[in-house]
């Protein structure tokens, strides 16, 4: 883009908005809302500009900015985008304004709330575009602070423990990951993701680690595996992978709705993004080494979370587990990629399908899950905080528009063909089946249970006898309809024309797959 640092501008646009919001008069709530929305729309504008200027045919990173930062510790300011980053940035830019609009119920310290949301957006943009560990980790960690306060200060009755649990779980993963990367830095002298991927493919990272550490006589493989485990833990908590998920239901259900939208739509993507950007390129050998346990984790995540969702009675918790379930398919796709190595060219078609599916699934889930939580938020506002599965009934008679639109989102989440969710999951299953047959076959069980519990929600909340309590439940207002309609439209667009997204990521996917030789 002719030397215009567009990624930096994009990243720091929300931060400027946050600074203005913090400095303003707290009583001017309306102005605060407009200001926050204005900055997030500006960010959406930059993201759209990036989307339009992105060259789908060019391999490698685009819009690169690279400056020295702290040479003494290998830190560079390096940002750039490939198809994966592009999709995630666009998703972030789309979801944040929707979440801001859905946050109109926040009346207490509104300006601080909005400022924290914008800070979180900066953290996400930074995470999705940074290409140097030091730089990336800064944003990865800093996004935790706004998320913590958003849960802690504006959450439900148990917000304190939920926020603490969320923060500390994530920090356990982050510290493990940090220690691993510091060891890698000590061994290789680099924090650059591209350079580390190269070294990882060649097996030079494990050799360098082995040369530098003589730790309790660990063998080369075991040492590299230990370092891998640290990095994996960092992402596993974030995604989350079962059994590292226990922070999630509490955090999602206690957070205010608009924050849950950000948590499920965007922050969970940080984990999957990290798997694709960091774990898979840098540790392909180690992933392959422990592939069977990893696939079991993926299957466990898919099936157990679906079953757990089925057992829940609180709508927010149902969708919290459902969110884990949907990200489980991403895990399955990512791990299946590492199944075969070398020049098995015929398999590259399957691998590309799986990886395309994973990225598409990230985008789709990032769109659908927040909208579902948005609907639950609307419902909660009307019911005075009630959101149990059995608290409602027959709503489709009382609030047909609400039920119709939420129904679309539910079916998108379920994976109905014609809506966005189907394409991603189909591609993952198509690609993963030949690569990891048993795991994919078992995962189908997850699809089945998902269908059951989503239909149960549909049945208990929308149909059945009308609960006399809610005879006067107001339907969606015009404003609320306008908030969700663009996203619903996008679900159809991607469902019918997935090429819009796949066209942007395909070159990146081919490149990643071609590089998976070790």
Partner 1 sequence: MNMLAWTVYTSFAGVLALMLLPSARARDARKLALVIAVIGLFIGFAGAFQYAAARGTSPVKPENVVQTVAQQSWVPGLGINYFLAADGISIVLVLLTGLAAVVGILFSWNIDRRPKEFFAFYLALIGGVYGVFLSFDLFLLFVFYELAIIPKYFLIAIWGSTNREYGAMKLALYSFIGSAMVLVGIVAAYVVSGAKTMNLIELSHYPFPAGFQSWAFPLVFIGFAILAGLWPFHTWAPTGHVAAPTAASMLLAGVVMKLGAYGALRVAMTLFPLGLQAWSSTIALLAGIGIVYGAMVALVQKDFKFVIGYSSVSHMGFVLLGLMTLNSIGLSGAVLQMFSHGIIAGLLFGVVGRMVYDRTHTRDLPELQGMNLSRAIPFAAGTFAVAAFASMGLPGFSGFAAEMQVLIGAWYAFPTFTILAGLGILIGVTYTLRVLQLSFFSDAEPNSEAAAHALPPITVPERFGAAILIAATVIIGLFPGVLLNLIGPSFASPLFEQLRKVGAF
Binding site for partner 1 (CB under 8 A): 69-73, 134, 137-138, 141-142, 144-145, 149, 152-153, 159-160, 164, 167-168, 171-172, 175-176, 178-179, 182-183, 185-186, 212-213, 215
Q: Which CB sits closer to partner 1, 193 or 378?
A: 193
Query: How far apart are CB 199 and partner 1 at their closest, in Å?
Result: 17
Q: What is the Cα gyration radius of the chain? A: 22
C-beta of residue 98 within 8 angstroms of C-beta of residue 487: yes
Distance CA 99, CA 118 (A): 11
Q: Which CB sits closer to partner 1, 185 or 426?
A: 185
Query: How far apart are CB 114 and partner 1 at their closest, in Å?
Result: 16
Q: What tokens were used for 229? A: 């485990």
Smallest CA-to-CA distance from 432 within 443, 422, 418 is with 443
Helical segments of 67-154, H only:
83-102, 110-129, 133-142, 144-154
Q: Which CB sits closer to partner 1, 130 or 358?
A: 130
Residues 6+ apart with CB under 8 A from 169: 237, 244, 246, 247
Distance CA 229, CA 177 (A): 8
Q: Which CB sits closer to partner 1, 18 or 488?
A: 18
C-beta of residue 307 within 8 angstroms of C-beta of residue 235: no
Query: How far apart are CB 175 and partner 1 at their closest, in Å?
Result: 5
Q: Which CB sits closer to partner 1, 58 or 175?
A: 175
Query: How far apart are CB 162 and partner 1 at their closest, in Å?
Result: 11
Dihedral angle, C-alpha 271, 276, 279, 280, nearest 10 °: 150
* Helices vs. strands in the chain: H and E counts, helices first: 24, 2
Residues 6+ apart with CB under 8 A from 60: 82, 511
Q: Which CB sits closer to partner 1, 168 or 441?
A: 168
Angle between helices 478-496 and 83-102 (to 10 degrees): 160
Q: What tokens were used for 420? A: 């966005």
Burial tier of 136 (Cβ tally within 10 Å: 0-12, 13-18, 19+): buried
Q: Which CB sits closer to partner 1, 74 or 407?
A: 74
C-beta of residue 103 within 8 angstroms of C-beta of residue 67: no
Query: How far apart are CB 265 and partner 1 at their closest, in Å?
Result: 24
Query: How far apart are CB 179 and partner 1 at their closest, in Å?
Result: 5
Q: Which CB sits closer to partner 1, 240 or 415?
A: 240
Query: How far apart are CB 259 and partner 1 at their closest, in Å?
Result: 16
Q: Which CB sits closer to partner 1, 136 or 329?
A: 136
Q: Which CB sits closer to partner 1, 144 or 454?
A: 144
Query: How far apart are CB 77 and partner 1 at their closest, in Å?
Result: 10
The 3-state DSSP class for residue 474 equals coil
Q: Which CB sits closer to partner 1, 141 or 204?
A: 141
Query: How far apart are CB 508 and partner 1 at their closest, in Å?
Result: 27
Query: How far apart are CB 206 and partner 1 at their closest, in Å?
Result: 15
Phi, psi of 189 (to 5 degrees): 75, 20
Query: How far apart are CB 167 and partner 1 at their closest, in Å?
Result: 6
Angle between helices 345-383 and 499-515 (to 10 degrees): 130
Is the Cα torsion angle 460, 392, 319, 396 positive or negative in sign? positive
Residues 6+ apart with CB under 8 A from 385: none
Query: How far apart are CB 86 and partner 1 at their closest, in Å?
Result: 25
What is the DSSP secondary structure assignment for residue 446, as one 8-state letter?
H
What is the DSSP secondary structure assignment for residue 60, as one 8-state letter?
S
Chain centroid, CA 491 distance in Å: 17
Q: Which CB sits closer to partner 1, 16 or 416?
A: 16
């Amino acid at each position: 883009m002719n030397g215009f640092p567009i990624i930096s501008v994009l990243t720091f646009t929300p931060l400027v908005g946050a600074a203005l919001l913090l400095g303003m008069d707290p009583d001017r709530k309306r102005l605060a809302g407009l200001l926050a929305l204005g900055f997030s729309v500006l960010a959406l504008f930059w993201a759209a500009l990036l989307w339009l200027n992105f060259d789908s045919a060019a391999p490698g990173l685009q819009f690169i900015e690279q400056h020295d930062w702290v040479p003494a510790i290998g830190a560079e300011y390096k940002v750039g985008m490939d198809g994966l980053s592009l999709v995630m940035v666009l998703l972030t830019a789309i979801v944040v304004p929707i979440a801001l609009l859905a946050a109109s119920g926040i009346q207490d310290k509104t300006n601080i709330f909005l400022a924290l949301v914008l800070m979180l957006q900066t953290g996400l943009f930074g995470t999705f575009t940074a290409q140097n560990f030091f730089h990336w980790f800064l944003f990865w960690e800093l996004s935790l602070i706004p998320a913590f306060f958003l849960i802690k200060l504006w959450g439900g009755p148990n917000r304190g423990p939920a926020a603490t649990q969320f923060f500390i779980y994530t920090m356990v993963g982050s510290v493990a990951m940090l220690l691993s990367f510091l060891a890698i830095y000590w061994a290789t002298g680099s924090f650059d993701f591209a350079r580390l991927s190269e070294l990882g493919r060649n097996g030079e990272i494990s050799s360098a680690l082995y040369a530098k550490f003589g730790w309790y006589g660990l063998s080369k493989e075991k040492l590299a595996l230990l370092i891998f485990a640290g990095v994996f833990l960092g992402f596993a908590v974030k995604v989350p992978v079962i059994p590292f998920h226990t922070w999630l239901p509490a955090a999602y259900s206690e957070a205010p709705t608009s924050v849950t939208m950000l948590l499920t739509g965007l922050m969970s993507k940080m984990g999957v993004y990290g798997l694709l950007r960091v774990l898979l390129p840098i540790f392909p050998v180690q992933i392959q080494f422990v592939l069977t346990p990893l696939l079991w984790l993926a299957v466990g995540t898919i099936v157990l979370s679906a079953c757990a969702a089925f057992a829940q009675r609180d709508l927010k918790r149902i969708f919290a587990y459902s969110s884990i379930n949907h990200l489980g398919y991403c895990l399955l796709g990512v791990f299946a990629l590492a199944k075969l190595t070398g020049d098995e060219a015929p398999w590259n078609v399957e691998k590309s399908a799986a990886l395309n599916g994973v990225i598409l699934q990230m985008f789709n889930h990032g769109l659908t899950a927040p909208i579902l939580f948005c609907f639950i938020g609307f419902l909660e506002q009307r019911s005075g905080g009630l959101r149990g599965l059995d608290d409602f009934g027959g709503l489709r008679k009382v609030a047909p528009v609400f039920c119709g639109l939420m129904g679309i989102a539910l079916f998108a989440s379920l994976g109905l063909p014609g809506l966005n969710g189907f394409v991603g999951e189909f591609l993952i299953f198509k690609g993963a089946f030949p690569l990891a047959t048993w795991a994919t076959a078992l995962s189908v069980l997850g699809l089945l249970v998902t269908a059951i519990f989503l239909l149960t929600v549909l049945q208990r909340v929308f149909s059945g006898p009308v609960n006399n309590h809610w005879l006067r439940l107001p339907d969606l207002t015009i404003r609320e309809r306008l908030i969700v309609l663009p996203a619903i439209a996008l679900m159809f667009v991607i469902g019918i024309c997935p090429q819009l997204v796949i066209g942007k990521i395909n070159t990146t996917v081919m490149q990643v797959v071609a590089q998976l030789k070790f």
